[in-house]
Amino acid sequence: MTAPLAERLRPKKLDDYIGQEHILGRNKPLRKAIEANLVPSMILWGPPGTGKTTLALLIAETTKRQFHQLNAVSSGVKELREVINRPLGLFPPIVFIDEIHRYNKSQQDSLLAAVEKGQITLIGATTENPSFEINGAVLSRCQVYVLESFGEKELKELTDRAIKEDVELKKREIKVASYEALMRISGGDGRKLLNLLEIITFSYPPDSPIVITDDLVEEVAQRNIARYDKSGEQHYDIISAFIKSLRGSDPNAALYWMARMLVAGEDVEFIARRMLILASEDIGNANPTAVIMANNCMQAVKTIGYPESRIILSQTAIYLATSPKSNASYVAIDNAIALAEKTAHLPVPLSLRNAPTKLMKQIGYGKNYKYAHNYEGNFTKHNFLPDELKGTKLYEPSNNARENEIRRQLQAWWAEWYGY
């Protein structure tokens, strides 16, 4: 039986790996660690089809280490111990655990000693936020690398490589007239793209030339659309539709997509977590109560369980959908992180430094700091940024009632410096 295209096309060398330049580009820390055979235990966190398994295999191949693969759905502590207790080679073996978030606490705890003692190098793959799903003790012993969905460039490269290099596809006469539908339907998922490409190819006779157009891709995708599967592709499509409906202030559509998840047996805690993220990302200070409401919903869902929790989920979804929206906090922290990455060399101004010792005071630590409570209204102008960044505005309030109040206060305080 011929392996699926996604399996046949797995790269054999790190240089052939497509995407994730932010962690695997030349001189990036993970790339250097792999090439030096100093691979840390890690969690690879990202959406489906972004190359988590492929990267684990390439790490093992590049470092010439033993490689043991387990799936958290079908393995338990017994299988883990069998792997951990195998004889060690020159370097610790790599133990790759797919869907590691599906291990319960005791199963995750069984990894701790082996990771801590260096008996194994753990590589866990997850589509869920490790902060919620991975035991804190395990997480503290691992580096977390975030894998991003493929962009248009990577998806095109993947398509072209499949057509030119795959042992089966290169036998066919295939031309891509348009990539747009392939890009859109695959949604940044490399495996979904290759599955779709393979279905299109083998729906034609072997000697028939194939011209891939948007209409052809859409027709084939419609014929082969999958039912909702908690571990499959529609899981991510439907949660995406749910979140976009909340963000778009449509409670009716949000309830429909939520119901689709509930009748399919989706984990209600997963739905609640996603609403908590949205409450901060898409509502934020336009309605600060939204994040409190969503957090209470998450706690209540954990306590009550299904089916009663559906009512709390419904109430919260309606509240979030009908709330005023702002992504200003989300944009602000991303702006701040981007700036921090470029300017991490800038020193903390002396006036803002702590001065616990006499020597530090003598060399100017804390000098000229203005203590806000000593001034009228508990405010006085003081530069709290590195001197080179004075006046750099990172937070821009959105146009809603609550943040317009914030804007007016910022204007009163900082209009001259930050241009509010």
How many CB atoms within 10 Å of residue 47? 17
- How far apart CA 100 and CA 93 sit, in angstroms, is 17
Determine the 3-state secondary structure of 122 from DSSP: strand
CA-based max dimension of the chain: 85
Which alpha helices (DSSP H) does 206-357 contain, by range? 214-223, 233-247, 251-263, 268-278, 289-304, 309-321, 328-343
- CATH code for residues 20-146: 3.40.50.300
Say which CATH architecture domain 233-321 belongs to.
Answer: Up-down Bundle (1.20)
Distances (CA, A) of 134 to 40, 86, 145, 273: 17, 25, 14, 14
Q: Give 3-23 pLDDT, tens digit per residue.
A: 889 999 999 999 999 999 999
Q: Let me know: does 224 contact 200? Beta carbons within 8 Å.
A: no
Q: Which helix (H) or strand (E) holds 402?
A: helix 401-418
Which residues of the chain form CATH 1.10.8.60? Answer: 152-223
Give per-residue pLDDT as tens, 282-313.
Answer: 999 999 999 999 999 999 998 888 888 999 99
Pair of tokens at residue 192: 């979904």
Amino acid letter, 294: A
- How do residues 160-219 score in pLDDT, each as one tens digit? 999 999 998 998 999 999 999 998 888 888 998 999 999 998 888 888 899 999 999 988
Options 3.40.50.1980, 3.60.15.10, 1.10.8.60, 3.40.50.720; which CATH number does 152-223 get?
1.10.8.60
pTM of the model: 0.57
pLDDT in tens, 22-75: 999 988 989 999 999 999 999 999 888 899 999 999 999 999 999 999 888 777
Q: Is the pLDDT of residue 76 over 80?
A: no
Q: Which residues of 215-250 are buried (b: 16+ CB within 10 A; e: fewer)?
A: ebbeebbeeeeeebeeeebbbbbbbebbbebbbeee
Q: What is the pLDDT of residues 328-350, one digit of tens each?
A: 999 999 999 999 989 988 989 98
204 and 239 in contact (C-beta within 8 Å)? no
Q: With a cut of 80, say whether residue 225 has pLDDT above it.
A: no
The SS3 call for residue 233 is helix
Q: Residues 152, 158, 159, 162: what is their CA dihedral angle, to the nearest 10 degrees?
A: 180
Distance between CA atoms of 134 and 151, rounded to whole angstroms?
Answer: 28
Residue 361 pLDDT > 60: yes
Beta bridge partners of 94: 67, 121
Distance separating alpha carbons of residues 407 and 415, to the nearest angstrom: 10
Q: Where are the alpha helices (DSSP H) in 117-206?
A: 130-133, 136-139, 152-165, 180-186, 190-201
CB neighbour burial string for 65-100, b if at least 16 within 10 angstroms, e if fewer = bbbbbbebeebebeebeebbeeeeeeebbbbbbbbb
* Of 74-83, 170-179, 260-269, highest mean pLDDT: 170-179
Beta 42-45 vs 143-146: how paired, if at all?
A: parallel
Q: Is the dihedral of CA 195, 42, 148, 320 positive or negative?
A: positive
> Is the pLDDT at 228 greater than 70, yes or no?
no
Residue 226 has pLDDT above 70, yes or no: no
Exposed/middle/buried for 357, CB within 10 Å: 0-12, 13-18, 19+?
exposed
> Distance (Å, rounded) from C-alpha 353 to C-alpha 394?
22
pLDDT at 114: 87
Cis amide prior to 47 (ω within 30 degrees): no
